[in-house]
Structure 1
């Protein structure tokens, strides 16, 4: 996406804790807004971890009041002063999408430790992680509709794959957030933690992941992604073929006969 903007901000702080790497978004004064330099640094740190054989899992967290307030609106606003603001915005969205996809496809399992808020691009970043831990009271949302736009870094695609499409649609079309407790009920958040304990809970979960076999972990990530990433038409076609095969099995015939005879079926796996 061109040259990285020079900055004196730390942007990302990396800490290695035994088998887990903690990557902390570190722009607390800007509510960890996802500027191009920050996203570039995140991409670089994630890429560097591929060569760290001792590291088996990654935790993403944020410094200050919350995980991330989303895309850097100041940076986006500056595009108006350029000769091609639409092209600059398209490039930014494309860059975010590519980095988040690389995070999702990273061989190391990842856990997002959420606190305070995860809005817009911040929530989309967490959706690219394998698992999410959130402190009670954390607000999660995609408020882009309130700005006359939509989530542009995978939010409209990942969110409906993780929770009921009707709920995802409501979040996207209204821009209203949900709290961590409801997100946990919906399955968007894997574990809840008490305020101030989110990182500890995420580290404990990451340590559990780190104890797994690296090749199996990477393969498991790929298989789960493949299971949920297919297009509806492909999924329905696969479902149709699978059900057709099952219908010709002995168990299927036994099930139908047992139903007609009003008894429990005796399945044999044939």
Structure 2
């Protein structure tokens, strides 16, 4: 199982590489299980402040492993398969440490669904992003129909989902689906640089910021602002807040400890 995912620690970031280039990083049960285990382990790893998700070889991921899916003989098997991918997406979205997807080649189907669950996305120019499940007579089942219209205009998401047709990285950047563009071969380096900037932040504030954005979007505005006020009031008591103010006065980067 460990063959399907490589984990490398670099400058307070963990680079997680989908490592099945021979099958275009198709995502099967072994991949979702291993990725879920790694995300759980990294929650408590103080050496890591941010995550980067990337694919080996010529693309980020072609999507779910169709060879494994074709072996299913009952709907419950497919439901369990999709459930594992959904759980990994949830683990990424709600992970206390921010994540950046580094996209190149193409990110289709379940691969794009994983990227949508990350906090930020970097893509090389020419990368194609799509949810082609409609062309197979099904639909995205691991968050694609829900996360995509929350990230880009619903009318564009509707077209992508109902036609199965992809968009390129430049259009995705214009829509806000991709945060940064990179030239050919530069997605990983750009994602790592972005992750290093994230990792420089205070861990408690990073985790709280993720929660405020995700949970606040589901609330009425007044309730969300009240939730924000209570959250930042708690952060005021942290050692990192004291360090941040001291670093500002000293005109130096903060040395945040997550306390």
TM-score, with structure 1 as normaliser: 0.81
Q: Distance in 2 between matches of 1:96 and 1:200?
A: 26
Q: Distance in 2 between matches of 1:227 and 1:127?
A: 18
Correspondence list, 1:110-259, <5 A: 110-228=99-217, 230=218, 235=220
Q: Distance in 2 between matches of 1:17 and 1:49?
A: 13
Task: Report the equivalent of 1:18.
Answer: 11
Aligned length, in residue pairs: 224
State the 1:64 CA deviation: 0.5
State the 1:96 CA deviation: 1.0
Alpha-carbon deviations, 1:34-91, whole Å to 9, x = none? Answer: 10011101111111111210210000000001000100000000003xxxx1010011
Question: Which structure has the larger Rg over C-alpha atoms?
Answer: 1
Give the CA RMSD over aligned residues.
1.5
Q: Which runs of 4+ in 1 moved over 3 A?
A: none
- SS in structure 1 at match of 2:90: helix
Task: Report the equivalent of 2:47.
Answer: 54
Q: Distance in 2 between matches of 1:94 and 1:16?
A: 28
State the 1:123 CA deviation: 0.3
Task: Report the equivalent of 1:250.
Answer: none
Q: Distance in 2 between matches of 1:190 and 1:119?
A: 18
Q: Distance in 2 between matches of 1:33 and 1:99?
A: 15
- SS in structure 2 at match of 1:79: coil
Q: Any unmatched runs of 5+ in structure 2?
A: 226-259
Q: Any unmatched runs of 5+ in structure 1?
A: 1-6, 243-270
Q: Distance in 2 between matches of 1:191 and 1:225?
A: 21
Task: Report the equivalent of 1:76.
Answer: 69
Q: Distance in 2 between matches of 1:150 and 1:16?
A: 35
State the 1:227 CA deviation: 2.8
Alpha-carbon deviations, 1:82-128, whole Å to 9, x = none? Answer: xxx10100111111111110111000000000000000000000000
- SS in structure 2 at match of 1:24: strand
- SS in structure 1 at match of 2:71: helix
Q: Mean Cα displacement is larger for which, 89-98 or 22-31?
A: 89-98
TM-score, with structure 2 as normaliser: 0.84
Q: 2:35 aligns with which of 37, 42, 52?
A: 42
Q: Distance in 1 between matches of 2:202 and 2:136?
A: 44
Q: Mean Cα displacement is larger for which, 125-134 or 42-51?
A: 42-51
Task: Report the equivalent of 2:98.
Answer: 109
